Amino acid sequence: METPYTDHLTSHEYEHVYEPAEDTFLLLDALEADLTFLDNLQPRLCLEIGSGSGVIITALAKRFSHGALCLATDINEHACNATKSTANRNATKVESIRCNLASALRTRSVDVLLFNPPYVVTSDEELHNQLFEASPESRHINMSTQRNLVSSWAGGKDGRRITDILLQQLNDILSPQGVFYLLLLRENKPDEIIDKLVSLNFKAVKYMERRIPGEYLYILKITRS
Partner 1 sequence: MKLSTYNFLTSMAIKGVKVGYPLKLTINKKEVVETEFNATFVERLLPKLDWSAIYSAAQVVELTDDIPAVQPENIAENEQLMQKLHHLLFEIDVLDGQLECPETGRVFPITDGIPNMLLNEDEV
Whole-angstrom distance, CA of residue 197 vs CA of residue 213: 29
| Candidate segments 32-40, 95-103, 197-205, 211-219, binder of partner 1 by CB under 8 A | 95-103
In terms of CB distance, is 33 or 107 closer to partner 1?
A: 107
The amino acid sitting at 106 is R
- In the range 127-166, which residues lie near partner 1 by CB under 8 A? 139-141
If one asks whether residue 45 binds partner 1 (CB under 8 A), the answer comes out as yes
Cβ contacts of 214 within 8 Å, gap of 6 or more: none
Binding mask 176-205 for partner 1 (x = CB under 8 A): ------------------------------
In terms of CB distance, is 32 or 77 closer to partner 1?
A: 77
Among 19, 29, 69, 200, binds partner 1 (CB under 8 A): 69
CA distances from 149 to 14, 57, 75 (A): 9, 19, 11
| Candidate segments 73-81, 151-159, 179-187, 191-199, binder of partner 1 by CB under 8 A | 73-81
**Angle CA 183–184–187, to nearest 5:** 170
Query: Are the C-beta atoms of residues 45 and 60 closer than 8 Å to each other?
Result: no
In terms of CB distance, is 151 or 188 closer to partner 1?
A: 151
In terms of CB distance, is 103 or 225 closer to partner 1?
A: 103
Binding mask 96-115 for partner 1 (x = CB under 8 A): xxxxx--xxxxx-x------
The amino acid sitting at 175 is S
The amino acid sitting at 118 is P
Residue 174: strand pairing partners: 110
Question: φ, ψ for residue 108 (rounded to 5)?
Answer: 50, 45
Binding mask 13-42 for partner 1 (x = CB under 8 A): -----------------------------x
Residue 94: enclosing H or E segment and its boundaries? Answer: none
Whole-angstrom distance, CA of residue 145 vs CA of residue 159: 21
- Give me the residues that bind partner 1 (CB under 8 A), please: 42, 44-45, 66-67, 69, 71, 75, 77, 80-81, 84, 95-100, 103-107, 109, 139-141, 175
